Amino acid sequence: MLLNKMRRKLLLGNWKMNKLASEAREFALASKPLAELAKKNNIDLGVAPTYLSLAATKEAASKDMIVAAQNVHFNPSGAFTGEVSIPMLQEFGIDWVIIGHSERRAYDNETNQKCHDKMKALFANHMVPVYCVGETLQEFEEGRTKEVVGRQIREGLEGFTAEECKDLVVAYEPVWSIGTGKNASSEIAQDICKFVRETLRELIGDTADKIRVLYGGSVKPVNVKEYLSCPDVDGALVGGASLKIDSYEELLRNIL
């Protein structure tokens, strides 16, 4: 429990394909008092807008607000139509990136190897990956959750050193609970987040105790406190409930 208290809580909103740049800017301006409140309570607060809204959000948000990208390519430049590189993100002051979200795994062939390549490039550029892992409903019902999540972690982080991984964030998101309204119980969240940390410990030793492990999947103001009361759940990766400033504020206040 002591280590849990040492790890700063993290509340990160994934906006997915939502908000115009003007709407993102309006939200960022309104969130300034929340960023100050979070800082006073030793909580990291952030959002992940679309590429087109990154600049507007970063410009309008508090300097204490994390502004993350939802994806990045592992090459610095080249013939990759539709992709965005690390130097492009860095030009706008972006140094956090979500990697391997289940929707990208499902719709865009985001494999563990691709995630590995992206994180390798991010580590080399001293940026923070938020690495998403999680199982489908079929895998959950077959009792294969730990097999799937363990493979995602081992293949995604293969060969990385403890020093490289020191700022890594891992988000456990059971695919069957994302956007469905179905919630994994706090017992499931704790069990799998603990397993994530144990798997990390196999790979990078005691540094695993410093890595923040988030839960994501139909997280709402009404249940966020229960999830974050679990000793191995250090924060939340939130979808729909992070889109409106009122519910975003309620999420924050419920974990103070």
Active site residues: 101, 173
The DSSP call for residue 210 is G
State the alpha helices, DSSP H only, in the chain.
2-6, 21-30, 32-40, 51-60, 86-91, 102-107, 112-124, 137-141, 145-156, 186-204, 221-228, 245-253
256 vs 58: CA distance, rounded Å: 24
Return contacts of 87-91, CB within 8 angstroms, 24+ apart. Answer: 89/54, 89/127, 90/125, 90/127
Supply angle C-alpha 52, 181, 68, rounded to 5: 25
**Could you tell me if 95 and 126 are in contact, meaning their C-beta atoms sit under 8 angstroms apart?**
yes
Residue 59: helix, strand or coil by DSSP?
Answer: helix
